[in-house]
Structure formats: structure tokens, C-alpha cells
Amino acid sequence: MSETTFDVVFSGKLQAGADPAQVRVNLARLFKTEPAKVAHLFSGQPVPIKRGVDAATALQYQAALAKAGALVELLDTTAASAPAPAAVAAASADIVAAPAPAVARDAPVTVPPAMAARGTPPQAPDYSVAEPGAVLVEAVVIAPPVIDTGHLSVAAPGELLDATPPVAAPQYDLSGLTLDPPGTILSQATPVAPPSFDLSQLKLE
């Protein structure tokens, strides 16, 4: 016997009190796309979000979409007596008609008996989507530091900041020094005797 499968179908219906514009933003974030690309989901025609999934997966989709504000139906695709409506098959293509106003419904979606027999349905994580413009993280205000500058002062314009006195030029006593007249030989060169070589043992062949 084959496992029971379900189609997750959305017809533009919203959870009671949900804002249609905000639900579009929430679904765009859920599907990781732009709000304009989910407009066809609000045409008023049933559009399959996911086809042929098991009961646990179908319930996960239903819970996640409910948190986004969308009201989906779970259609048992294995029941021979409940064929998929022709409108569902036609809506699988992209619908470009202007979206119809969403209708809120207070009554929850009826879970098919085959799905209810499986026990407690899985719960989607307790996530929520903030309103547009909401501040997600409050800024922490840090008080500016208090610095004591009472002991500091500002010099007048043009005032020299470095008042170090200049160093006096050194005084040298040159009275004991004299200069010889031009051309004076200051050092007498010592004559060097030419070298003497003994060439008596050399001969030419």
C-alpha cells in the first residue's frame, strides 16, 4: 500500500486578523524572493505550494505558512474519491491577473483523518517576522567620557611654545697660531738610496 501523500494548496486566504500586505512580505521572506513574485498566490485561485509530500512534511508546511499569516489546505492526493480540482491544475502555471482581496477565516483547516491518525503533528519553530521598519536591536547609548581639562591652557597666537634660550657660539683662542709664508716647505723629504741589484749570475742565451 502506497504512503498517503498530500498537496499543500493556498487560495489567498489569510489567518484571522492578518494584514494582507504584511503576509505578502512574510511569504516573500519565507520563499526567499521578492514580494512582487508572490503576487500570483493571491489571485483567489487555489495554487499548490508543494505537491505529493508525506503527512509530516505537509504539516510542517502548514505550520510555517500559518506563522507567516497564510491559511493553506492539505489535500489528500491518494484518495480515489477526492481528485484534484481542475482549478488547482490550471493554477500551477504563473497567474498574472490582479490579486483579489484575501478573505480571513476564523475556523482552522481540517486535518484529514489519515493525517490525524499519525499522532501529534510536528510544530514549526516559534519564529516571527517583524513589521517593516521595526528596530530589531536596540542601540546601547554610551555616555561620553568626562575628561578634566581644567589644568590645560591655550597659548596666545604667535607665542613661542619652546622658550629654550639659544646656545652661545663657542670662543676659541687662536693667538698662539701662526702661518708660514707661501712656498715654505713644511716637511723635509728624506732621500732614499737607489736599490743595488747583483746581476753577475744572469746571462742571455
pLDDT one digit per residue (tens) for the chain, 205 residues: 468 889 899 888 888 888 888 888 988 888 888 888 888 888 888 888 888 888 888 899 898 888 888 888 898 887 543 444 444 444 443 433 333 333 334 334 445 544 554 444 455 555 566 667 777 677 788 889 999 888 888 888 888 887 788 888 899 888 888 888 888 888 888 888 898 888 888 888 7
Residue 36 DSSP one-character state: G
- Tell me if 79 is assigned to some domain: yes
- Tell me if 134 is assigned to some domain: no
Integer CA distances (angstroms), 199 to 50, 146, 192, 194, 196, in order = 121, 101, 21, 15, 10
What is the model's pLDDT at position 183? 83
- Tell me if 41 is assigned to some domain: yes
- Tell me if 37 is assigned to some domain: yes
Total tally of structural domains belonging to the chain = 1
CB 71, CB 49: distance < 8 Å: no
- Tell me if 143 is assigned to some domain: no
On whether the pTM is more than 0.85, the answer is no
What is the model's pLDDT at position 2? 63
What is the model's pLDDT at position 188? 81
What is the model's pLDDT at position 87? 45
Strand positions, DSSP E, the chain? 6-15, 47-53, 70-76, 104-105
Q: How far apart are CA 58 and CA 6, in angstroms?
A: 7
What is the model's pLDDT at position 72? 87
Integer CA distances (angstroms), 167 to 164, 170, in order = 9, 9
CB 81, CB 129: distance < 8 Å: no
- Tell me if 10 is assigned to some domain: yes
- Tell me if 186 is assigned to some domain: no
What is the model's pLDDT at position 90? 45
Q: How far apart are CA 3 and CA 92, in angstroms?
A: 24
Q: How far apart are CA 8 and CA 10, in angstroms?
A: 7
- Tell me if 58 is assigned to some domain: yes
Q: Which domain holds residue 20?
A: 6-106
